Every structure is written in structure tokens, then in C-alpha cells.
Amino acid sequence: MKKYLFLALLIVLFAPVTINAQVEIENPVTSDSLWELLSKVIDFIFYISISIASLMIIIGAYFFLTSAGEPGKVQTAKNVILYALIGLVVVFLSKAIINLLLEIFGVEASI
């Protein structure tokens, strides 16, 4: 049993050394610079955030319509809509603030 365990251990340890395959991996990132990559990531987050905020506004409207006049449910619906709108404002301002900071520091990139 010890012989087989030792043999299996040797195979596992030395197999990667003996197998020498040439594999070429293409760069999955299509950006040429760090600023371009950051711009794409920020745009992705921006569009996802807008989608989520829009969905939350619709959910808040559904809560409002199905509240049947109960004060607790009406307040919940108002809070959902309010926080979704606050989130939208933050998302729009974040992009403007990033561009403002880049301009202040003299970076040539625009996000």
C-alpha cells in the first residue's frame, strides 16, 4: 500500500514538470490602458445601478398600490421610492465627481 501511495505522490508532484505543453492565452481585457479599463468598469456599474434603481422604483410603486391604505405599508412604499431616487442621484453625481477630480488633478482620461 505504501508503494502505491508513494508512486501516486511522485506522479502528482512530477507530472506538471514532465508535461510541457505550449498554450497561448489571449488577453481577455480589450482595454489598452488602465484608465480605459476603469472607464469600462465604472460604466458597467453605472448602468447596472440605473437598472436596479429603476426596478426599485417599480417595486415601490407596487407596494404603494397594494398597501390598501395601511399607513405602515404606505410608508414602506414611500421609503423604497425615496431611497431609490437618492441612489439614482448618487449614481449620477458619482460620475460627475470622478470626472471633476480627474480634471482637477490634470489626468487626460475621461470616465
For 36-83, what is each residue's pLDDT tens digit? 888 888 889 999 999 999 999 999 999 999 998 899 999 999 999 999
Condensed to tens digits (0 to 9), the pLDDT of residues 80-109 reads: 999 999 999 999 999 889 888 888 988 776
Output the pLDDT for position 93. 92
pTM: 0.65
pLDDT score of 8 more than 60: yes
- Alpha-carbon gap, residue 93 to 87, rounded angstroms: 10
Q: How far apart are CA 89 and CA 84, in angstroms?
A: 9
How confident is the model over 10-42, as pLDDT tens digits? 676 666 555 556 777 777 677 777 888 888 888
CB 80 within 8 A of CB 62: no
- Among candidates 64, 65, 86, which has minimal Cα distance to 77? 64
Q: What is the pLDDT of residue 103?
A: 87
Rounded to whole angstroms, how far apart are CA atoms 60 and 52? 12
Among 103, 99, 101, CA closest to 39: 99
Check residue 106 and give left, alpha or beta (phi > 0: left; psi -120 to 50: alpha). left
